[in-house]
Amino acid sequence: MECVFGLVGNGFAIVVADTSAVHSILVHKSNEDKIMFLDSHKLIAASGEPGDRVQFTEYIQKNVALYQFRNGIPLTTAAAANFTRGELATALRKNPYSVNILLAGYDKETGPSLYYIDYIATLHKLEKGAFGYGSYFSLSMMDRHFHSGMSVEEAIDLVDKCILEIRSRLVVAPPNFVIKIVDKDGAREYAWRESVKDTPASA
Amino acid sequence: MKLDTSGLESFPSLILHGNDVAGEISAPPSFDLPNSNDFDGFLKEAIQMVKPAKGTTTLAFIFKEGVMVAADSRASMGGYISSQSVKKIIEINPYMLGTMAGGAADCQFWHRNLGIKCRLHELANKRRISVTGASKLLANILYSYRGMGLSVGTMIAGWDETGPGLYYVDSEGGRLKGTRFSVGSGSPYAYGVLDSGYKYDMSIEEASELARRAIYHATFRDGASGGVASVYYVGPTGWKKLSGDDVGELHYHYNPVTPSTTVEQEMVDAAAA
């Protein structure tokens, strides 16, 4: 089952997602990147049905880019989150998307923020959030060890604790995770936590 | 709906009164049945749920020299084998191949349609479409028909300006970029052989042998796969069919029958009555 979780620290926000693409009992791929760069300072981590996940997040990404082209300035994280929620809500009673999203971003004026948007268009601004079976383990871990204004090292330590707990306690635990971070210097990949390495395509 | 199993009770209810421990041990066995009218159907469904659908075995992988694509050729309708000679590797254009798993008509039609769109792209843009682009076109089409009953599990393999490309696209709307895929009911069996034998630095002969072997092993164990194991190679100059071997013959090729000098059982004439 897909595990996505994230938290806000001192001047940064971190999101973590598993990287398995699964079809019933088969694992098709264990290095599928589920955290997309929405723009230079925003990350969108999505979990849900494969088609919906990619199509919906790409749709949001292109619309956010369009806004920037039209208006010359990028959207704030709050605006992007509310736009995403609006799109989910509009589609909900006709053709719902089964995607759960954690949107993390950094704004110059307001600093880092994390938004929890679930598949029925619930929107919450939070300091820590999680989706999937992994949330049963990571939420309590984060509740116990989180405090406002954590440093990057403390936050990564907490993330590793959560990953360890998921790996040891979840029956169908995903083997690999990707960690991405967003701060004043932009959104970037921080690290991978791999326990099963795919044979690389090229040397 | 809890079925009334009181008819199955074989001892009188008097025994149940009295001390708790004894009561529990001697209580008649009962269990909650699932909430359905058709229990046998439910059981069958539960087993079918885990088994990958789409009776076939197809596989493709990227290696140093290009892409290797292989498939079986059996078509089955439930327990009936309707054909042993189905072409499951579809030639989209001279440098791109698609594999067929799921509904034959769906796969053939949409691959043909994809070929048309790729050609239109070439004419409009004066350059060949990339494998990324072609797979995205197909994925978007399949996504728009989601929930309407299309059954397509395909791999798009090709060679473009960036080198070899392989994508898995299915009718649920999923699209995955990867280096090794297998699709169909025989895919778990094929994955086992493919994963353990795979090395990026293989020659074309080694890779085609690996592909053929993986298909053979899948057809051996999976009832819905069989017929002929076809192997295609996609390189910088386009695709080329390498081999098409009957899996029955492959079985004896891999497991030769050695005539044994010692006889297990010897038949002797029965003693005259």
How confident is the model over B159-209, as pLDDT tens digits?
Answer: 999 999 999 999 988 999 999 999 999 999 999 999 999 999 999 999 999
pLDDT at site A25: 85
> Which residues of B are known catalytic residues?
56
pLDDT at site B193: 93
Residue B136, pLDDT > 50, answer: yes
Judge whether A112 lies within some domain: yes
Instruction: Report the run of H or E that residue B208 belongs to, with start and end.
Output: helix B204-221
pLDDT at site B259: 79
Give residue A196's pLDDT band: very low, low, confident or very high (50, 70, 90).
Answer: confident
pLDDT at site B27: 58
Of the two residues B35 and B90, the one the predictor is more confident about is B90
Contacts of A23 in chain B (CB under 8 A): 52, 170, 174
Mean pLDDT of B59-83: 92
pLDDT at site B250: 94
Using one digit for the tens of pLDDT, what is the confidence trace for B112-126? 999 999 999 999 999
C-alpha torsion sign, points B75, B76, B77, B82: positive
Of the two residues B265 and B133, the one the predictor is more confident about is B133
Contact B188/A25, CB-based, under 8 Å? yes
Mean pLDDT of A66-86: 95
Picking from B144, B148, B155, B179 by the largest number of A CB atoms within 10 A of its own CB, the best residue to mutate is B179
CA distance B204 to B227: 23
Contacts of A51 in chain B (CB under 8 A): 139, 142-143, 146, 172-175
pLDDT at site B173: 86
Contacts of B142 in chain A (CB under 8 A): 51
Mean pLDDT of B151-165: 94
Mean pLDDT of A100-123: 96
Judge whether A199 lies within some domain: no
Mean pLDDT of A105-109: 96
Chain-centroid distance of CA B98 in Å reads 15
Q: How far away is chain A from the Cα of B10, in angstroms, using its nearest Cα?
A: 40
Give residue B6's pLDDT band: very low, low, confident or very high (50, 70, 90).
Answer: low
Long-range CB contacts for residues B142-151, cutoff 8 Å, separation at least 24 = B142/A51, B142/B110, B142/B169, B142/B170, B142/B171, B142/B173, B143/A51, B143/A55, B143/B173, B145/B171, B146/A51, B146/B171, B146/B172, B146/B173, B150/B103, B150/B106, B150/B110, B151/B53, B151/B54, B151/B102, B151/B103, B151/B106
Contacts of A54 in chain B (CB under 8 A): 173-175
Q: What's the mean pLDDT when you consider all of chain B?
A: 85
Interface of B with A (CB under 8 A): 49-50, 52, 62, 139-140, 142-143, 146, 168, 170, 172-176, 178-181, 187-188, 191, 198-201
Residue B26, pLDDT > 60, answer: no
Closest CA relative to residue B164, chosen from B59, B58, B69, B57: B69
Instruction: Report the run of H or E that residue A141 belongs to, with start and end.
Output: helix A135-145
Partner residues linked to A21 by β-bridges: A29
Judge whether A144 lies within some domain: yes
Q: What are phi and psi of B205, to 5 degrees?
A: -65, -45
Closest CA relative to residue B64, chosen from B208, B167, B202, B159: B202
| Residues 35 through 94 of chain A touching chain B, CB cutoff 8 Å | 49-52, 54-55
pLDDT at site B187: 92
Residue B140, pLDDT > 50, answer: yes
Give residue B25's pLDDT band: very low, low, confident or very high (50, 70, 90).
Answer: low
- For chain A, how many residues are written? 203
Residue A97, pLDDT > 80, answer: yes
The model carries a pTM of: 0.80
Mean pLDDT of A1-27: 93
Contact B174/A24, CB-based, under 8 Å? no
Residue B91, pLDDT > 70, answer: yes
Using one digit for the tens of pLDDT, what is the confidence trace for A58-69? 999 999 999 999
Judge whether A158 lies within some domain: yes
Domain interval for residue A17: 2-192
Give residue B14's pLDDT band: very low, low, confident or very high (50, 70, 90).
Answer: very low
Q: How far away is chain A from the Cα of B43, in angstroms, using its nearest Cα?
A: 17
Q: How far away is chain B from the Cα of A47, in angstroms, using its nearest Cα?
A: 13
Judge whether A200 lies within some domain: no
Picking from B136, B162, B168 by the largest number of A CB atoms within 10 A of its own CB, the best residue to mutate is B168
Residue B23, pLDDT > 50, answer: no
Mean pLDDT of B56-71: 96
Judge whether A201 lies within some domain: no
Judge whether A202 lies within some domain: no
Of A26, A29, A51, the CB nearest to B172: A51
Contact B172/A54, CB-based, under 8 Å? no
Picking from A22, A27, A28, A56 by the largest number of B CB atoms within 10 A of its own CB, the best residue to mutate is A28
Partner residues linked to B156 by β-bridges: B98, B167
Give residue A118's pLDDT band: very low, low, confident or very high (50, 70, 90).
Answer: very high
**CATH code assigned at A156:** 3.60.20.10
Closest CA relative to residue B210, chosen from B242, B236, B165, B249: B242
Give residue B17's pLDDT band: very low, low, confident or very high (50, 70, 90).
Answer: very low
Closest CA relative to residue A75, chosen from A118, A42, A113, A111: A42
Using one digit for the tens of pLDDT, what is the confidence trace for B255-270? 988 877 777 777 778 7
Residue B19, pLDDT > 50, answer: no
Of B49, B140, B173, the CB nearest to A52: B173
CA distance B255 to B258: 9
Contacts of B188 in chain A (CB under 8 A): 25-26
CA distance A64 to A139: 30
Judge whether A203 lies within some domain: no
Domain count of chain A?
1
Give residue A117's pLDDT band: very low, low, confident or very high (50, 70, 90).
Answer: very high
**B200 → chain A, closest CA residue:** A201
Which of the residue ranges A62-71, B74-83, B139-148, B151-160 would you say has the lowest mean pLDDT?
B74-83
